[in-house]
Amino acid sequence: MTLSVNAAAERFEIAGGFKISRETRTHAQVVVVTLTDGEHTGRGECVPYPRYGETLESVQTQIADIAAVLRDGLTRSALQEAMPAGAARNAVDCALWDLEAKKAGKSAAELAGVGLLKPVTTAFTISVDTPEVMAEKTRAAAHRPLLKVKLAGPGDDERIAAVRKAAPESTLIVDANEAWDESCFERNMAACEAAGVALIEQPLPSKSDDLLAGITRSVTICADESLHPGKSVDGLRRKYDAVNIKLDKAGGLTEALKLVDQARSQDFKIMIGCMLGTSLAMAPAVLIAQKADFVDLDGPLLLARDRSPGLRFEGSTLFPPQPELWG
C-alpha cells in the first residue's frame, strides 16, 4: 500500500529559556515526519540546525521533495543516498525505523541488533550566564549526578569555578560551542582541569581546532561541530579524544549506528548528544546511549511541556521509550 507522508512543524516552549555562546532561544522548533501505510504509523522528529543553514522551511521542503519516492517504498538503505545528512533525513530515517518496528511487531532495538534497552543517566544542562546566575541554577540541580555546563569564551574560568563550588559532587562536562580562542584557551583549560571537569566539548571553532593536536591534557576533549554532517570520524583522532554523535547531524539512526562503530574502531570515547527537542527526538538516540560513555539527552527536561506520551525520567535516569512514543 502507498505510504502517506506528512511533515509538520511544531513549537514547544523552553522553561526559562536556553542560552549558549551564539544564541538565546525561548522555544524548541521541530519538524515531525509521520508515515502511514493505512494500518501502521511511524514517526520521527528532527530539529533544524541554523549553523548548517537549516530552517523549518528548508527541512520541510527537503522532505516534500522526497515524498514521492517514499510513497513508492524507498528503503532506509536507499534513503542514505537519496538525501544528504542532516535534520530532514534524520526525521525520515527515524520514522522509517518506527514504521518497520510497528509492522514487524518488534522493537527498533531488536531490529538494530542492540539488544534489550536499559535505563541510562543523562546530563542536565546549565545555560551560559554570569557566574552568579549559573551558580544559582547549578545549586538547584546539584542533586543530579551529571551536569553539562554551557560556556562562552572569556570569563569561562570564573563560570566553571562558580559551578563547581555550587555542585561539588556532580560530574561536570562543559560545552564551549566553539567560543574559545588563543586569548582564553589556556586559562579556561586550566580552570576545567582544576574543577575536575570530565569532558570539554568543542572548545575551539572547527576551522581553527588544529591547536588541539598534540597538546597534553588531563581532560577528554570532544568533537561536536568538527564532526560535520555526512562526514566520518577519520582525521579527528589527532585532535580529539571523543566524538559527540547527534542524530540530526548524522542524518538519522541508521548512520549514527555506523558512526558508533567507526568511532570505537578508532578508540574514541562516545557521547550521544541532542538538539533541543522533545521525547520523540530523544527516543531513537536511546539506542546509541546504550554504547555511549556520556549521555546528553535532556531535551525534554528543559521544556515547559513535553509531548504526551513522552519518555519517562526519574531525576536524571532516562528510561527506554515505550512503543506508543517510538520504536
Active site residues: 150, 246
Question: Would you give the distance in Å from CA 1 to the centre of its chain?
Answer: 34
**Position 157, amino acid:** D
CB 219 within 8 A of CB 198: yes
b/e for 256-269, b at 16 or more Cβ within 10 A? bbebbeebeeeebb
Torsion angles phi and psi, residue 197, rounded to 5: -65, 135
